Amino acid sequence: MTPADLESTIAHMGAAARAASAAMAKASPAPKDGALRALAQWLRSEGAALAAANAEDIAAAQKAGLAGPMVDRLKLTPDAIETVAAGCEQIAAMPDPIGEITELRQRPSGIRVGRMRVPLGVFGMIYESRPNVTIEAASLAIKSGNACILRGGSEAIRSNRALWRLVQQALVDAGLPPDAVQLVQTTDRAAVGHLIASPDAVDVIIPRGGKSLIERISREAKVPVIKHLDGNCHVYVDAGADLEMALKLVDNAKTQKYSPCNAAESLLVHAAVAPAFLPRIGAVFAAKRVEMRVEPACKPLLRGIKGAEVVDATEDDWSQEYLAPIISIRIVDGLDTAIAHINRYGSHHTDAIVTNNHVHAMRFLREVDSASVMVNASTRFADGFEYGLGAEIGISTDKLHARGPVGLEGLTSLKWVVLGEGETRG
């Protein structure tokens, strides 16, 4: 495809998505939920075709020498297909967010003023590897009455095409416009550049992938981006905390899984409990081979623990998202220092305090400037499903519009409705 052809292809997709979005915005719940249930059925009945397409992607990836974990992420197992099919049915069963009017109040002028929840219009989804995102994004678009343009990783293109054909079929089954969910068919990277520079066609871009992808998209986009940068999450163990609870929470936040963005990367311990707590958590980390990068004051307290890997933290460590069995550790002299450290070095994603002090709990909630702030809970709970959103299109580290886990609500906006009986302004 020539550059001009590519640009015109993306422009055509955008115009078609814009037209389809008008039909989706006024669709009632029945066809939208019908399409989601039909999609679940197609996913289950077309397992063989999906497996064949996926096998081709995997063979190509192996031939190209992709690393093992990358190939794993490509895999569309029968279990993974059942998970996305069940997800479609769960989303179908959720209340429809669109058209709801809230806060309708009469004003002194006589007019009644309220707000109606409506779709954003068209979103662009840019993602890597995992083909299940194709179905997750399509199903959330359908439920929220939006159109979407999907751009998956080139290594998953055959799987994504096979999945997308089922979405097309389900939309047609339900009498909805198939252009409501489009897939960029070319693997040319310039397609992303056109997509993120088309404010007429796309209302918001949602990238899912590594930090460098998201930074590049944010820098070059001419449309708003719901962006998820890094998750440098902290747990602060306060003076007087229940140390059994702290042990359990810090262990879970760091070691239950190392790769998620809501895993803890940094531990702050109040000086009053450090002598009792650090040797115990140090032993847990040593047993799980978690490297500890610590400030000098921690070292005497971690001495002599069998198998412990303790190294000096550098200034850089306080800002690191390791996504690995590594944790930075610092002793602080109080709540103020802990909050200041988190607001300075953290990534405003998810941070937790372990405390029995009510005032400290409330101050931490209010003063830590992060999308999720927690008291006596594991940072690993920062997740759309755990929060009860029913589904998650992504996680936002921005403050405007959507913050933290983004579900259906993040794909909608509130417009003002005014009901009058002929009122004029004097």
Tokens describing residue 324:
């690995």
Check residue 302 for interaction with a second copy (CB under 8 A): no
Q: Which of 63, 105, 189, 358 binds a second copy (CB under 8 A)?
A: 105
What is the footprint of a second copy within residues 223-282 (CB under 8 A)? 224, 242, 245, 248-249, 251-252, 256
What is the footprint of a second copy within residues 6-35 (CB under 8 A)? 22, 25-26
Total number of residues binding a second copy (CB under 8 A)? 67
**Radius of gyration over every alpha carbon of the chain, rounded to an integer in angstroms:** 24
Check residue 373 for interaction with a second copy (CB under 8 A): yes
User: Cα separation of 49 and 348, whole Å?
Assistant: 43
User: Cα separation of 173 and 195, whole Å?
Assistant: 28
Closest separation in Å from C-beta 336 to a second copy: 11
Residue 51 vs 375, nearer CB to a second copy: 375
> Taking the alpha carbons of 222, 226, 231, 234 in that order, is the dihedral positive or negative?
positive
Q: Are strands 101-106 and 112-119 parallel, antiparallel or unpaired?
A: antiparallel
Residue 105 vs 306, nearer CB to a second copy: 105
Tokens describing residue 423:
């009122």
Tokens describing residue 127:
């993602």
Q: Which residues pair with 124 in a beta bridge?
A: 149, 205
Check residue 370 for interaction with a second copy (CB under 8 A): yes
Closest separation in Å from C-beta 362 to a second copy: 9
DSSP conformation letters of 119-176: E-SEEEEEE-S-THHHHHHHHHHHHHT-EEEEE--GGGHHHHHHHHHHHHHHHHHTT-
Check residue 357 for interaction with a second copy (CB under 8 A): no
Residue 123 vs 164, nearer CB to a second copy: 123
Closest separation in Å from C-beta 58 to a second copy: 30
- Residue pair 353/367 in contact by the 8 Å Cβ criterion: no
Half-sphere exposure of 353 (CA within 13 A, CB side): 31
What is the footprint of a second copy within residues 165-224 (CB under 8 A)? 203-204, 224
Check residue 387 for interaction with a second copy (CB under 8 A): yes
Check residue 94 for interaction with a second copy (CB under 8 A): no
Burial class (CB in 10 A: 0-12, 13-18, 19+), 415: exposed
- Residue pair 142/181 in contact by the 8 Å Cβ criterion: yes
Closest separation in Å from C-beta 300 to a second copy: 28
Closest separation in Å from C-beta 411 to a second copy: 11
- Residue pair 102/115 in contact by the 8 Å Cβ criterion: yes
The stretch among 149-157, 187-195, 232-240, 370-378 that binds a second copy (CB under 8 A) is 370-378
The stretch among 148-156, 172-180, 308-316, 392-400 that binds a second copy (CB under 8 A) is 392-400
Q: Which of 121, 144, 146, 209 binds a second copy (CB under 8 A)?
A: 121
User: Cα separation of 354 and 273, whole Å?
Assistant: 12
Check residue 152 for interaction with a second copy (CB under 8 A): no
Q: Which of 48, 67, 359, 400 binds a second copy (CB under 8 A)?
A: 400
Residue 157 vs 267, nearer CB to a second copy: 267
Check residue 397 for interaction with a second copy (CB under 8 A): no
What torsion, rounded to 10 degrees, do the Cα atoms 128, 133, 134, 140 define? -140
Check residue 90 for interaction with a second copy (CB under 8 A): no
- The values of phi and psi at residue 117, to 5°, are -85, 125
Q: How many residues does the chain have?
A: 426
Check residue 378 for interaction with a second copy (CB under 8 A): yes
The stretch among 43-51, 67-75, 232-240, 367-375 that binds a second copy (CB under 8 A) is 367-375
Residues forming the site for a second copy (CB under 8 A)? 22, 25-26, 99, 105, 107, 109, 111, 113, 116, 118, 120-121, 203-204, 224, 242, 245, 248-249, 251-252, 256, 343, 352, 361, 363, 365-367, 369-378, 380-382, 386-388, 398-401, 403-405, 413-426
